[in-house]
Chains A and B, each alone.
Chain A
Amino acid sequence: QKEVEQDPGPLSVPEGAIVSLNCTYSNSAFQYFMWYRQYSRKGPELLMYTYSSGNKEDGRFTAQVDKSSKYISLFIRDSQPSDSATYLCAMSAGNAGNMLTFGGGTRLMVKP
């Protein structure tokens, strides 16, 4: 079993919908949680970064972390066709090297 699980999708939604993306993890040492967006044939781009449990909002994006359930979420409001990409969750224990463990990514398609 992988340390970080993520539904690969694809997830198809109409423009303007609220999108919910999720990851579960097994390593209780993870303290730092990130969401990256990756367009086809491009490198991952950092979207959201949170420490420990709680919520963080940035524009149309909201990240939630529930450490007790080992579950993190990314919500996208008013989704746009330009949001169509693969969304990767990533996490680290904050150790010296800060190596990230990624989920497999969820492919999102927002249809006009």
Chain B
Amino acid sequence: DTGVSQDPRHKITKRGQNVTFRCDPISEHNRLYWYRQTLGQGPEFLTYFQNEAQLEKSRLLSDRFSAERPKGSFSTLEIQRTEQGDSAMYLCASSWGQSTGELFFGEGSRLTVL
């Protein structure tokens, strides 16, 4: 399978704990995006990388959130001191170069904060 891969698919944690999600994009894609989706809502943009550079961050991305993409390959999204409001589906997407709109999404990582 050469699609976007995310891990874990589901994470249940207690409030205050740290969690980390991993995304492996389609191998030839240089852009990688993180979106968050809550129940009954559309995905909301969080941040994106072009190669290893993080070029844009949404105001939704509080100081407790950090994303990295070392060497421009896979990416991690870490949430520190989780809150119940962080419960959502975290979606990763990738695209190539100058493409405008053709984002390919992974299956998502569902976070439940108790």
B105's contact among A44, A99, A101, A104, by CB below 8 Å, is which? A44
- A104: chain B residues within 8 A (beta carbon): 40-42
B102 near A: Cβ within 8 Å? yes
Judging by beta carbons under 8 Å apart, are B107 and A100 in contact? no
A-B pairs with beta carbons under 8 Å apart, 11 shown = A6-B42, A41-B108, A43-B106, A45-B105, A98-B95, A98-B103, A99-B45, A99-B48, A100-B45, A105-B40, A105-B42
Among residues 78 to 108 in chain A, which have CB atoms less than 8 Å away from a CB atom of chain B?
88, 90, 92, 94, 96-105
Which one of B33, B42, B104 lies within 8 Å of A102 (CB-CB)? Answer: B42
Interface set of A (CB-CB < 8 Å, partner B):
4, 6, 8, 32-34, 36, 41-46, 49, 51, 88, 90, 92, 94, 96-105
Starting from the known contacts A43-B91, A43-B108, A44-B43, 20 additional A-B residue pairs (CB-CB under 8 Å) come to A4-B42, A34-B101, A41-B108, A41-B110, A43-B93, A44-B105, A49-B101, A97-B48, A98-B95, A98-B103, A99-B48, A99-B56, A100-B45, A102-B42, A102-B43, A102-B44, A103-B42, A105-B40, A105-B41, A105-B42
Size of the B side of the interface (Cβ < 8 Å), in residues, is 27
User: Is A46's CB under 8 angstroms from B102's CB?
Assistant: yes
Whole-angstrom distance between the Cβ of B26 and the nearest chain A Cβ: 13
CB-CB < 8 A to B45: which residues of A?
Answer: 99-101
Pair A98/B101 contact, Cβ less than 8 Å: yes
Contact indicator A90/B42 (Cβ below 8 Å): yes
**Could you mark each residue 82-114 of chain B with 1 if its beta carbon is under 8 Å from any beta carbon of chain A, else 0?**
000000000101010001111111111010000
